[in-house]
Amino acid sequence: MHYSAASSNFAPNALQVLQKRYLKKNEEGIVVEGPEELFRRIAKTIASADLKYGRIESDVIALEEEFYSIMTSLEFLPNSPTLMNAGRRLGQLSACFVLPIEDSMESIFDAVKHTAIIHKSGGGTGFSFSNLRPNGDIVGSTKGISSGPVSFMTVFDTATEAVKQGGTRRGANMGILRVDHPDILDFITAKDNNSRFNNFNISVALTDDFMNAVKADTDYKLLNPRTGEVVNTLKAREIFDLIVNHAWKNGEPGIVFIDRINESNPTPHIGQIDSTNPCGEQPLLPYESCNLGSINLAKMVSDGAVDFQKLRRVVHTAVRFLDNVIDLNKYPIKTIEDMTHANRKIGLGVMGWADLLIQLGIPYNSDRAIQCAEEVMEFIQKEGKKTSSILAEERGVFPNYQRSIYDNKIKQRNATVSTIAPTGTLSIIAGCSSGIEPLFAVSYVKNVLEGTKLIEVNPYFEKIAKDRGFWSRELMERIAETGSIHDMNEIPEDIKSLFVTAHDISPMEHIAMQAAFQKYVDNAVSKTVNFSHDATTKDVEDVYLFAYQLGCKGVTVYRDGSRDEQVLTTGKTTKETETVPAQTKIIPRKRPESIVGETRHMKTGCGNIYVTVNEDGDGQLFELFTHMGKAGGCAASQAEAIGRLVSLSLRSNIEPDEIINQLKGITCHNQTWTNGGKITSCSDAIAKALERFMQRGSKGNGNGSQKQNIVMFIGACPECGGAVEHEGGCAVCHSCGFTKCG
């Protein structure tokens, strides 16, 4: 698609992400708008909400220009559903939802249905399973035995997997269980098998009583939620250690300090908060939603200092924007609409924090950075509340105001104003660092079309390197091997201290930064605490206790290389290379005399393709053949070649999942839609035919588990093969904008 000069604000990466995920497409999948049309559509739609409050048309047009300006200048961006859906038929604009799950089959499956509706609309969902009776408890209506919360999580996970296949934004869930639930041991270990709950983040809700018992090394009580009775006691220290060990092992479960969250609940008389959205930054009451947006702090620097006048203007405009979204949103469920309108929560956050510090010459891991964080976020919070108060005078307070902590104090339009959310794709569009995270790399390899690899260099670093005379192509390539300049002797020390990456910073420094922002945030802060591969469980324990001490509301940790599928993200891994035995020659299995299988018809842009998959007598996949209807030439010959190579791989005991991962999603210029979703190429059709055959329950080749998410989010991007980094509770590919939260 041709982009006009108005697109010059956007880097090539940003344009690629916009085209792939946000710009309007016609029925053939062809992009029919550019970035300026996208932001004009959003600005016009969101500004129109002012008409219902009696503003004249000329004022609404002026407001539209303000909204358009802060987006096209990349000073502010709303959350992804607003970018995708504002001014379009779907019209669902919120990112975050929490649904209740009560202890009945009706409530559980109502929640499953509502989850599917929300995911289809582009939102993410959070749940607390703490109200469900434990495994083995009596079911009164049938006198049967309950299977417990973890078993019902499987239902939600499966529903999410089914819905996300056709979606433009992958559904994600947060599953939370209180630490005093009798099934807490099963919950903590629920993700020991990496093929389970791939559509969930899970977190344990830690109470103050539990944390005090950990500190005192005493027992704590387990309560049956059905009866409220004490059913057991456990050593708090042992449970805490189990949580720590599992977080060290693969990053989950996370933790939320649930009593601390409820201490800042703005409407305690309406209900208690039991859960958060998928990345943990947005605690919500049952049936609440929240729309989020982020200010690009990289744009808030002038003459080497924070431009607070500009920041004030953007905060005021952004808060008005987010409040308007509440009125224009097409909510997926009426109960959610009612609850959201009653409390009118918004979540204004930031991105580009690391970029701001670099422009100010302040190292991320310094006392000056902590002081700056508190100063900047306090200012945003104060100005955000001031704007909410102005809106309350214009439009009225939120309906539950009289039953809130604001009663008889300053009037507020919104029960909450601020949140620090992950900004994976938003920060790529804005061309800035993600959320409040440090740089993920100073230089990294970007994969582009046809296998070409480009070296991407942080623009601030590149300018300084050239200005100070140490820039070279060879140096940039060396930096890209690890992403860090920490061990580069030719780079001046002051530059090395300024351009620190996530793994150059100690976990305690990560938490200190999170806590600095949390002081002035209504909701919570999404941030990943990065550990090196050789970190110990004691290091994780220390971070959890430090986070509790500093007033954080939750913690997400990730130890480098701690999940089975991780591959290299920037270059050389920090994990020592294991000795690999000499490879023996693999002899493909011989074809038996008889073989069974099935043929599946797949529609592609090049014509119909018939894919035959056969199993041997032991039920193991053996071979794959293709036939291309009436088509011939290149398409047929390439399909035949793919079939032969797939057959050779299967007969050589390569897991089918790995083959599917290599072929699925490959695109060509002739794409098409079928009842089963989008077919992007003949290769994609073959992969999906093989995948559907696998879903019949094939044994595979016996060398690995059948995973539904293959190398989805732990290093190698499934869409472009580029580097994936953990940021703000999400995995983000900076090459193509792929994100996985959950």
Cis peptide before 459 (omega within 30 of 0): no
Is a pLDDT exceeding 80 seen at residue 188? Answer: yes
- What pLDDT score does 130 carry? 98
For residues 434-446, give the mean pLDDT.
Answer: 93
User: What token pair was written down for 682?
Assistant: 């003949």
What percent of the chain has a predicted confidence (pLDDT) above 70? 87
- In angstroms, the CA 90 to CA 467 distance is 49
Most confident range (mean pLDDT) of 483-492, 564-573, 594-603 is: 483-492
For residues 175-191, give the mean pLDDT.
Answer: 97
Is a pLDDT exceeding 50 seen at residue 703? Answer: no
Is a pLDDT exceeding 90 seen at residue 319? Answer: yes
Is a pLDDT exceeding 90 seen at residue 571? Answer: no
- What pLDDT score does 629 carry? 63
For residues 469-491, give the mean pLDDT.
Answer: 94
> Which of the residues are catalytic?
277, 279, 281
- What pLDDT score does 616 carry? 81
- In angstroms, the CA 300 to CA 352 distance is 9
Best CA proximity match to 274, nearest among 420, 96, 130: 130
Confidence of residue 142 (pLDDT cuts 50, 70, 90): low
pLDDT tens digits, 644-663: 889 888 888 888 888 988 88
- Sheet strands (E) in 63-120: 76-78, 96-98
For residues 582-594, give the mean pLDDT.
Answer: 66
Considering the chain, what is the average pLDDT of its residues? 88
Most confident range (mean pLDDT) of 137-151, 156-170, 523-537, 681-695 is: 523-537
User: What token pair was written down for 492?
Assistant: 């001046």
Name the least confident of 11-20, 52-61, 443-452, 477-486: 443-452
What domains sit in the chain, N to C, each tagged with a CATH number? 5-92+281-428 (3.20.70.20), 96-276 (3.20.70.20), 596-694 (3.90.1010)
Is a pLDDT exceeding 70 seen at residue 182? Answer: yes
For residues 613-638, give the mean pLDDT.
Answer: 78
- What pLDDT score does 578 carry? 36
First vs last C-alpha separation in the chain: 32
Which residues have C-beta within 8 Å of that of residue 274, sequence separation ≥ 6? 98, 128, 130, 176, 205, 258, 286
Is a pLDDT exceeding 90 seen at residue 443? Answer: yes
- In angstroms, the CA 742 to CA 165 distance is 15
